[in-house]
Amino acid sequence: MKKRYIYLLLTFLTLSACQSPDNFLDVEPTGLIIPSTLEDLDKLLQNYAILRGVGTNTRYMDPDVYHNDASFASISSTTKDVNGYAWKHDIFPPGVNDTDYNDFYFYIHTMNYILENVNGVDPGNFNPTNRDILKAEALAQRAFEYFLVVNEYAHHYDPANPDLSGVAMPLNIDLQAQLGRSTLGEVYEQMLRDLNEALSLLGNNYQAINSYANFRPGRASIYALIAEINLFMGDFDEAVENSNRALNLYDFLYDYNTIDFANPSNPWSGYNNGSLWEFGTLNRENMWNRYNYWSFNSPFHLYAPELEALYDKDNDRRWYLFATQTSSAGVDVSPNYIYMHANSERCNGLTVPRLMLTNAEAKVRTGDGAGAIAVLNTLLANRMSTFTALTHTNDATTLQIVKNERRKELAGTSINLFDQKRYHVYGDAVPTYTRINPETGETIELKPGDDGYVVKIAPAVTDQNPNLN
């Protein structure tokens, strides 16, 4: 019977026996570590590479992203980026690897390995009383990876039709399996099952976030992801409850009035808070860290005019800190503005601001518009140079304010793409977005519910496993 190994330094190429199992089985390579103790499994969880540039396929699909000729030139040689900006469902040419997809399933594979082995291996130099912590983290990390992959490669979950096609969902190690897609309902149910089991294993006294390695979860991180899943499923009462639990455990915010550029004459020099933003592991707002890009200097993109119009440019420190009209190479894009996150990782994982906005949205959707405004006032007092507290007038107006703040606060993360998908399922009004294709001059449309909101699994994957078509 073949033994099944995962190598700490081995690149897992694609899901479900896309490569011959003999590439992975039976052969023990020289110089690589085969995880065989709790200490080794902890090292798998401590792998900083899980942060990676995750969600890179969706960067230019976001309707809040814009290109003029100058900025488009910085992506024009990358086919998948050009296709993504054109809202094409099938963005990968034949034979081209999809790094997002491979990375998602490599880490799902890693977590499955940990879960299959954590109860049976010797401790090594690891406290065996913490065995359940490793199991809990692997469950939670697997759920986070599925949340990321299902939102990129499938249409949005619809409680009225949970049997719509989702993504492949391996829950154990079987490199010879060629799994098809599970339903969206099955994927979302599994994520919640994993996260709730993780909470039960960690216990009530476990740390709120992992401040040493914030790409690993704490209890507040897990509650924050549960709340986001609740929101995405349209279960707004549960989203309020779980986001409240997370915020009660952890709610740190930076006051943007205390942050400036290291060199105000050159915004691309970075910020004056040392390495706190340069490395997202040090950013105290990050609750469960992932990042999609560093600095946004090359290639770069612009704020869509509709997003730009939402900012109070005189008072909003987010505009001051993250917008410029000159690229790092000196390209002037005026009258447009470049989105930048100078010399810093842009977190597209779970943060305190994202959690607050989830909490505010869920509150207004459950009839607590005043509570939603109170949350926004706490956030905006730390974002505006001059701030007058908002007041609640009616739920429709407050909901639109929440949506606008979510776009501004989470600019550069591509989360707006997923938000527009879910708004459509909720029955909210979602516009038909238009762009001019800089290559052809044609007008491109993205209609509510279009396939252009979804990345089609690359032919390089489906050629190996046709069950994923």
Q: Give per-residue pLDDT as tens, 353-379.
A: 999 999 999 999 999 999 999 999 999
Say whether the peptide bond before residue 299 is cis (omega within 30 degrees of 0).
Answer: yes
Compute the distance between CA of residue 240 and CA of residue 233 in angstroms, rounded to an integer.
13
| DSSP-derived secondary structure letter, 212 | S
Average pLDDT over residues 222-242: 98
Q: Does the pLDDT at position 266 exceed 50?
A: yes
User: What share of the chain in percent tops pLDDT 70?
Assistant: 93
The β-bridge partners of 294 are: 345
Q: Check residue 11 and give its pLDDT.
A: 34
Q: What is the maximum alpha-carbon separation in the chain?
A: 69
| pLDDT of 35 over the 70 cut | yes
Please report the pLDDT score of residue 10 as a whole number: 36
Q: What is the pLDDT of residue 15?
A: 34
Residue 13 has pLDDT above 70, yes or no: no
Residue 20 has pLDDT above 60, yes or no: no
Mean per-residue pLDDT, 286-299: 95
**Beta carbons of 385 and 317 less than 8 angstroms apart:** yes
CATH code, 21-254+350-468: 1.25.40.390
Report the b/e string of 258-275 with b at 16+ CB within 10 A.
eeebeeeeebbebbebee
What is the rounded distance in angstroms from the CA atom of residue 192 to the CA atom of residue 468? Answer: 23
What torsion, rounded to 10 degrees, do the Cα atoms 208, 213, 216, 221 define? 30
One-letter amino acid of 397: T
- Residue 220 tokens read as 């507040």
Higher pLDDT, 48 or 147: 147
7 pLDDT more than 60: no
Domain ranges, ordered by start, for the chain: 21-254+350-468, 268-347
pLDDT interval class at 53 (50, 70, 90): confident
Contacts of residue 150, defined as CB under 8 A and 6 or more positions apart, other chains included, come to 157, 166, 167, 184, 187, 188
- Give the per-residue pLDDT at 52: 86
SS3 assignment, position 262: coil
Q: What is the pLDDT of residues 54-79, one digit of tens each?
A: 899 999 999 999 999 999 999 999 99
pLDDT tens-digit series, residues 144-193: 999 999 999 999 999 999 999 999 999 999 878 899 999 999 999 999 99
Q: What is the mean pLDDT of residues 266-286?
A: 92
Q: CA 301, CA 80: separation in Å to the nearest integer? A: 15
Predicted local distance difference test score (pLDDT) of residue 32: 62
Give the mean pLDDT of 99-109. 96
* CA dist list (Å): 202 to 132, 136, 205: 7, 6, 8
Q: Which two tokens stand for residue 363?
A: 């509150």
Q: In sequence order, what are the residues at sequence separation of 6 or more whose Cβ sits closer than 8 angstroms to the Cβ of residue 8?
A: 32, 33, 35, 40, 43, 44, 47
Measure the CA–CA gap between 383 and 255, rounded to whole angstroms: 6
Asked whether the predicted pLDDT for residue 112 surpasses 90, the reply is yes
Continuous H helices in 389-441: 395-409, 415-426
Mean predicted confidence (pLDDT) in 373-392: 98
Q: Using the predicted structure, report yes or no on whether residue 274 has a pLDDT greater than 60.
A: yes
Quick one: how far is CA 184 from the chain centroid?
18
Alpha-carbon gap, residue 365 to 372, rounded angstroms: 9
